[in-house]
Every structure is written in structure tokens, then in C-alpha cells.
Structure 1
């Protein structure tokens, strides 16, 4: 199923939309102004030496293609001044009788503790139902990532289970919590 959609959303403080070629400088500044890693699941400052405008244009093109193919919906989060705050993605796991997606997100650490992640997630989950027609959204979270767990619960996600040996990271298969939200059951926070 291919979608030709308007994927530009606004909240009180944020603009949420796919990256565009002219976003390079804002995107670059979001990453380059990050603080050193604040905790285990924060990547902090990244090496941007090879992240040229040409590299970024390829990234944008690849993300746009993934959206056209209904594979992964990538959304950049900007404040109303155009600062790149972070990213959200919704990966299509199954369509047909499932309408099922996986949610991923991050906020640059220099923008933490301002409510941006909550505001962006509430909006994207609502749009995932209304525009993308997903019924079930899952988020997979490390067992010790309490800030992410609390955020998901605040948005309206429910703990479902622990998936053992679920994701290969840091050289080993790790367990993850699975949180879910059924959009058609009005689980979405308001």
C-alpha cells in the first residue's frame, strides 16, 4: 500500500514533518550542539565530519523513498523557529488485518526536560491513526531505560511483555520491554 499524504503536522510549539533538502543546516546544528552523552542511552555528540550536504541529500532521498513505499515514516521535529529538536519514526511491521507499526524517537539532549518528546509523540500517535491508519503501535525499550518507559506510559502506551533476546546490541542479544498502544481504543493521551 502506497500513501500520497500530507505529512506535515503542528503542535503548540512544534513542527513535525519529513526532512527536506533545505533542512541541512538546522539538522546539522541540532547534532553539533548536542552535549556530551548524559546517560547510557544518549549518543551525545556525534562525529559529523562526513555528514556533508551531499550525504544529507542522499539521506533525505532515502527517507522519502521509504515513506513512499510505506516502509518507514521518518519525521523531523522542529521548534517554531526552525531548530531541529529530534526525530520520530514509525516502521510498518504489517498492514492487511494488522495495521501495525513500531515507534522510535529521540530528542537532542540540549532540548531535554522541556516536554518536546511528549508533545511530539502525542501528535504523531494521533496522526498515525488518522492519516496512516495504524491500529497498533509498539515501542521496544531497554529494561533499564526508565525515562523512555515513563514517557510512553504518559503518552498512553501500556506495558505488554518482555521479549527475551529480542535485539542484538552492544555485541549481544538483549531483552526488551514491549509497550503498545491501540489507537482505535482511544488509548492516546490528551
Structure 2
């Protein structure tokens, strides 16, 4: 029997970061950093995003949705915050692909582009993988990465994920079925 972590009240810390679910009181901090994003740096960076429909009520519903997804073990979604000033740096999430004899999940990550090249992504993803194995009880985590997304590939490799294969026509995005590279890491 695999125990499920109650991630809606979970917190993990590294030297510089706090990784935890979003809370209602995070709204202004969360919104500010989305608004402070730089223009897009490459094809897979959304850059500045229209946040006009992201009202405080909308955000509170998002927090509830994240809690529901965590309770059902469908997805576990965490904010990444800088420890010294609680600034929202980005997000990391796990989707459960299969449990039972697999204990298999997928990781997604995003650091606001105004905080790139400071090591936050590597530090956050490394700690998130610890959370995945120790607290969420996954055995295998995969990252599905666009074949031309060099920054994401470099990040996956920097935390010890290994290239496994290219899945052809794997995800429908950019108005077409796109190939994705699969990187994986297993618990030790």
C-alpha cells in the first residue's frame, strides 16, 4: 500500500528556496512576478503573459483546484519561493501517470525568466525530485521536453535525469503534433 502525501500543507526548503503549494495570501506576490516577466527569450518561453483575468477570486479557485488535485493524487503543484524575501520564482509540478506496480510520474517546471541564470531552476528541480521520491512515493519521474528546448534539456541533465527516447508526435501544441524527448530518473 502506497501512502499518499498531503501536499496541500507541505513545505520543503533548500539553502535559498522554499517549495510549497500556493496559498491564498500568495496572490499579490504571484501576480507581481508574472507581470514582471521579461519578453519571451525563446520559442518555449511565454515571456510576458496577459494576467487580466487572474483576479484574486480566480487565484483562490486555482489554490482550491491544486488542493483537489493533490488530494486525488492526480497532480502535486508547488510554488517556488526565494527564502530571504518570499518572492515567487516559479512553479514545479508532478502529474501521476500510474501508481500500483509503476509509481510513475511526470515533472514540469517553470522559472520566471527574470530569474534565469541564477541556479534557481536546478536547485528547485533537484529538491522537487527529492520530494517526488521521499514524500510522494514515486519510483520513476519523467520530463517530456520539446526537442529544441535546450535550456530545459540542460536543466534535466544537470539534476541527473537521463535521456531515454524521442516520442514522435507526442503532444499537440503549436497547432501540430510535436515530438518530445523523454528524460527520466528512478528512485535510488
TM-score range, shorter chain: over 0.9
Alignment of 1:101-120 (within 5 A): 101-120=105-124
Q: How many residues align?
A: 184
Q: 2:131 aligns with which of 127, 151, 157?
A: 127
Distance apart, 1:150 and its partner CA: 1.1
Paired with 1:55 and 1:168, the residues of 2 have a C-alpha distance of 26
Paired with 1:3 and 1:135, the residues of 2 have a C-alpha distance of 14
Paired with 2:118 and 2:163, the residues of 1 have a C-alpha distance of 25
- Given the alignment of the two structures, is residue 29 of structure 1 paired with residue 32 of structure 2, yes or no? yes
TM-score for the superposition, normalised by structure 2: 0.95
SS in structure 2 at match of 1:121: helix
Paired with 1:117 and 1:63, the residues of 2 have a C-alpha distance of 21
What is the aligned partner in structure 2 of residue 61 from structure 1? 64
- Given the alignment of the two structures, is residue 89 of structure 1 paired with residue 93 of structure 2, yes or no? yes
Native 8 Å contact 1:2 1:69 kept in 2: no
What do the CA deviations read for 1:144-179 (whole angstroms, capped 9, x no partner)? 111111110110000000000000001110111000
RMSD of the alignment, in Å? 1.0
TM-score for the superposition, normalised by structure 1: 0.94
Q: 2:6 aligns with which of 4, 8, 13?
A: 4
Distance apart, 1:97 and its partner CA: 0.5
Q: Which runs of 5+ in 2 are unaligned?
A: none
- Given the alignment of the two structures, is residue 99 of structure 1 paired with residue 103 of structure 2, yes or no? yes
What is the aligned partner in structure 2 of residue 161 from structure 1? 165
